[in-house]
Structure 1
Amino acid sequence: MAPILDIKHLRKSYGATEILKDINVSIEKGDFLVLVGPSGCGKSTLLNCIAGLEEISGGTVEIDGRDMTHVSPKDRDIAMVFQSYALYPTMSVAKNITFGMKVRGVPQDEQDRKLAEVAKQLQIEALLKRRPGQLSGGQRQRVAMGRALVRDPALFLFDEPLSNLDAKLRVEMRSEIKKLHHRLGASMVYVTHDQIEAMTLATKIVVMKGGVIQQIGTPAEIYNHPANTFVADFMGSPPMNLIPVKTQAAGAGAQVRIDRDGMDPIVLNVPRSDLPAEVLMGVRPEDLAEAGYRAGSSVQRAQIRVDMVEPAGADTYVTTQMGGRMITARLHAETLAHAGELLDLEFDLDKVTFFEPQSGARL
């Protein structure tokens, strides 16, 4: 079966400035692809290239097995939901939703049936007679989604649809979109700079930086096996700790030494015999636990001096200095850690990742 979306060697330039560099990505029917990265990384430009709103400089875009590279947006069998909602202010909600069908000459009874179906799905039946100016941000976003849903397209495209909403509403709308995807089995491409949004919504994530794909994978692959230090630092909140360490061979593995100001170095034994003398060791904050809190043969203990304690409800964040950097541990809420005191921490060495310091690539 052909992928629902297949992008091959896509490039986009404005004059001499290359915005997208050799982009290759494909998704199967029913996938939820999230394009994530910092502002200016090219993710919205890539979405616009898929939609046909931007002309590409090289490569191809296939949708549902058809080459759409030079096909106009209206003929690509896509529906797009924008950050700005793009609703007609003088039309009722019902007319906003059915306008596209009316333009395409869909019979009135079919328009009415689709409208009723989508209004029920999005729980906006009571809003159909109102105008956009009488709606909250979340309601407007639902209407914009309703307008896309009545199309029943091959591909839904979302361009940062939740970025204008407050934090609580974002979480609610995020779960609405996830439920919608699950219910419809629809194929979706979603742009965001919010890595939490990416992790919770995606079946597949594309992490971008400077117009280049850094990594493609499932949320678990991206989080647990980042391809480089950029992905490690960008995905996760707080991000992965990247600690400069020195290594030396020890039996079948290696000893890792973490230098510290005013304290003895931390020495850990890892089952890797292929490490260069100086590497970056990546440790997620949750893989640094209080002593006795985690069992397992790969857990090794070290004493640290606590610099700062930040209670955050379900978690408590503790920072300390290792390898000349501030390192964060995510501990349980009832921790008794206090700034200035010593604390025994345990490293889960099954979960650490090593990176080459110059290139940032995972070893």
Structure 2
Amino acid sequence: MKNTALSVTNLCKSYGLTEVLKDINFEIKQGDFLVLVGPSGCGKSTLLGCIAGLESLTSGSINISGRDMQNVDPGNRDIAMVFQSYALYPTMSVAKNITFSLAVRGIDKKTREEKLNQVAKKLQLENLLHRKPGQLSGGQRQRVAMGRALVREPSLFLFDEPLSNLDAKLRISMRTEIKKLHEDLGTTMVYVTHDQIEAMTLATKIVVMKDGETQQIGTPAEIYHKPHNVFVADFMGAPSINLLDAYVTPDDAWMTVELHNRAGEKIILRHPNRLKYIKKRCHVILGIRPEHISDVENTDSTQHGVGRCDIDVVEPAGADTYILTELCGKTVTARLNANKSIQAGSQAQLYFDLSNASFFDKKTGERLAW
């Protein structure tokens, strides 16, 4: 069984009377890729700073590789950090930027060169070692920053929104490089981002944060398919999940889910009755993702319904076509086949697959368990 690489216990952080982090608890194993994700100002970068030792704790504890980090300086935590701003020395060559920390620690020149060559090959920097940072592109600078972290061979890598300064195409490319790097090295990484696509594609475990609190901790699949509350459901996924006011009426084996279109016509969906504690017609929030509303009936699922909807907007997106309609007084996104011939202003019969739907309490926004 793999050892615990990082554990955070009852961590709180305040600036004066302002609580920034509120009772944070999680742990990850050696080789995990943890992503801290949430909107700007939710406390994720402050949490990373606490792990790095750049921020003091108000209360709680942090343990790295079996060591309590209380009163341990950042330089003695066996970590390496990659910043959003790259933080490269402008007057040093790429080679010296990468090996600077080794030189400071008194590592001999031969060992420094060996580690430099290994890292440069892995990150495809061999032809750039004599250049200065000002002569590099944004993606190249980010690889140098990663190389500077890799050469130290720390027990824990920390990434603070490292791709946010890059253009969209380069972000995708660098995201792939980071994922491959993690798979090749098997090292433990903690990564901060506000981009939920980065979180879903990179992580083995995700911590979703809001207002200094953890909303859910789980694998990307758990976060996506079984969100704990309306905030997590809405924040994770692109296009966003559809959240609709619905009425459910249970019986012994099944429950009916009632929606209505713009014309007020009812759309009745069926779902196995897993909400056993609901005994009568009840108002809930139905969470259903765009890929589960389509123009194709899921013949493998008995958990579906059909409804005729007005098409307001058609958005071709290459492999898919997204359409916008209105249900229960809200704009709803559905994903159709790319070759579907459909126009705004028309009507279409849509199939609703509830096999991966979520139901939330109308008052609290919490997931209804079954």
Q: What is the alpha-carbon distance in structure 1 between the residues aligned to residue 294 and residue 261 of structure 2?
A: 19
1:166 aligns with 2:171: no
Is the CA contact 1:291–1:301 (under 8 Å) kept in the aligned structure 2? Answer: no
Deviation track 1:218-269 (CA, whole Å, cap 9, x = no partner) reads: 0000000001000000000011100101122344322211133324111112
Q: What is the alpha-carbon distance in structure 1 between the residues aligned to residue 239 and residue 233 of structure 2?
A: 11
Q: What is the alpha-carbon distance in structure 1 between the residues aligned to residue 177 and residue 227 of structure 2?
A: 28
Q: CA deviation at 1:294?
A: 5.2
1:301 aligns with 2:306: yes
Partner of 1:64: 65
Is the CA contact 1:195–1:235 (under 8 Å) kept in the aligned structure 2? Answer: yes
Unaligned runs of 5+ in 1: none
Q: CA deviation at 1:52?
A: 0.2
Aligned ranges 1:311-350 → 2 under 5 Å:
311-350=316-355
1:220 aligns with 2:225: no
What RMSD over aligned residues (CA atoms) do the two structures have, in Å?
A: 1.2
Q: What is the alpha-carbon distance in structure 2 between the residues aligned to residue 77 and residue 116 of structure 1?
A: 22
> What is the percentage of aligned positions where both structures have the same residue?
59
Counterpart amino acid of 1:194? D
Single out whichever of 100-109 and 291-300 deviates more from structure 2. 291-300
Partner of 1:19: 20
Is the CA contact 2:229–2:366 (under 8 Å) kept in the aligned structure 1? Answer: yes
Is the CA contact 1:253–1:269 (under 8 Å) kept in the aligned structure 2? Answer: yes
Q: What is the alpha-carbon distance in structure 2 between the residues aligned to residue 268 and residue 278 of structure 1?
A: 15
Q: Secondary structure at the match of 2:26?
A: strand
Q: What is the alpha-carbon distance in structure 1 between the residues aligned to residue 266 and residue 228 of structure 2?
A: 28
Q: CA deviation at 1:209?
A: 0.3
Partner of 1:290: 295
Is the CA contact 1:8–1:60 (under 8 Å) kept in the aligned structure 2? Answer: yes
Q: CA deviation at 1:293?
A: 6.0
1:130 aligns with 2:128: no
Counterpart amino acid of 2:148? R
Unaligned runs of 5+ in 2: none
In the superposition, relative to structure 1, how do residues 296 and 269 fare at CA in structure 2: closer, same or farther (>3 Å)? closer
Q: Secondary structure at the match of 1:4?
A: strand
1:265 aligns with 2:270: no
What's the TM-score once normalised by structure 2's chain length? 0.96
Would you say how many aligned residue pairs link Structure 1 and Structure 2? 363
What's the TM-score once normalised by structure 1's chain length? 0.98
Single out whichever of 290-299 and 126-135 deviates more from structure 2. 290-299
Q: What is the alpha-carbon distance in structure 2 between the residues aligned to residue 149 and residue 247 of structure 1?
A: 53
Deviation track 1:162-209 (CA, whole Å, cap 9, x = no partner) reads: 000001110110000011000100000000000010000000000000
Is the CA contact 1:291–1:344 (under 8 Å) kept in the aligned structure 2? Answer: no
1:99 aligns with 2:104: no
Q: Secondary structure at the match of 2:51?
A: helix
The structure 1 segments of at least 4 consecutive aligned residues displaced by more than 4 Å after TM superposition are none
Is the CA contact 1:266–1:302 (under 8 Å) kept in the aligned structure 2? Answer: yes
Partner of 1:188: 189
Q: Secondary structure at the match of 1:174?
A: helix
- Residue 315 of structure 2, aligned match among 285, 310, 318: 310
Counterpart amino acid of 1:134? Q
